[in-house]
Structure 1
Amino acid sequence: MNTPAHDLPLDLERMRADVAGMLGEAPETIGDDDNLIDLGLDSMRVLGLVLAWGNTGIALEFSHLAEHATLAGWWGVVQRLQGSAARA
């Protein structure tokens, strides 16, 4: 299992690359609207992503991502959290 790239800013393409790494796939194979659970992403891998992405300074929690099953949904959550952090 590949570990997420901690030194990169959290953007949609980093998220795509990190998810792809967890699944052993190429980033371009992960579509914005693909169901990540159907692709094989389990809760332990999601937790690993949450922990890695939380190191970027946003208050990301497992429950935020559990509400969504797509990269597009996750990116929307991250954008809201990043906006909240910027206003704080």
Structure 2
Amino acid sequence: MTPDTRSAALDIERMRADVAGMLGEAPEAIGDDDNLIDLGLDSMRVLGLVLAWSNTGIALEFSHLAEHATLAGWWRVVQRLQASTERA
């Protein structure tokens, strides 16, 4: 399953759904603090998520997410990027 490619604003629930889709899991199976690598998310899937989420207008890069292994960590990164995009 591939991430949703719509360009709507990115929120944590869309991120959770997209990660779950990549892993073949239900969104509710992905906890905020679960280690996504331990759940089976590999670098190629992360890259796919980065590409899909970049369509929302934020300057997201693989390196931003590679520093974190949880959805909560990723969400903090996205929030910072969204805030900086809004200020620009």
Equivalences, count: 87
Report what 2:83 is aligned to: 83
Unaligned regions of 5+ residues in structure 2, if any? none
1:6 shift after superposition? 1.7
The percentage of aligned residue pairs carrying the same residue is 85
Report what 1:71 is aligned to: 71
What is the TM-score when the length of structure 2 is the normalising length? 0.97
The Cα offsets for residues 48-88 of structure 1, whole Å up to 9 and x where unpaired, read as 00000001100000000000000000000000000000000
Report what 1:3 is aligned to: 2
1:9 shift after superposition? 2.4
Aligned residue runs from structure 1 range 55-66, under 5 A: 55-66=55-66
Unaligned regions of 5+ residues in structure 1, if any? none
Report what 2:20 is aligned to: 20
The Cα offsets for residues 33-57 of structure 1, whole Å up to 9 and x where unpaired, read as 0000000000000000000000110
Amino acid corresponding to residue 32 of structure 2 in structure 1: D
Distance 1:58 1:79 in 2: 10
What is the TM-score when the length of structure 1 is the normalising length? 0.97
1:5 shift after superposition? 1.1
Pairwise CA RMSD of aligned residues? Answer: 0.6
Distance 2:9 2:30 in 1: 19
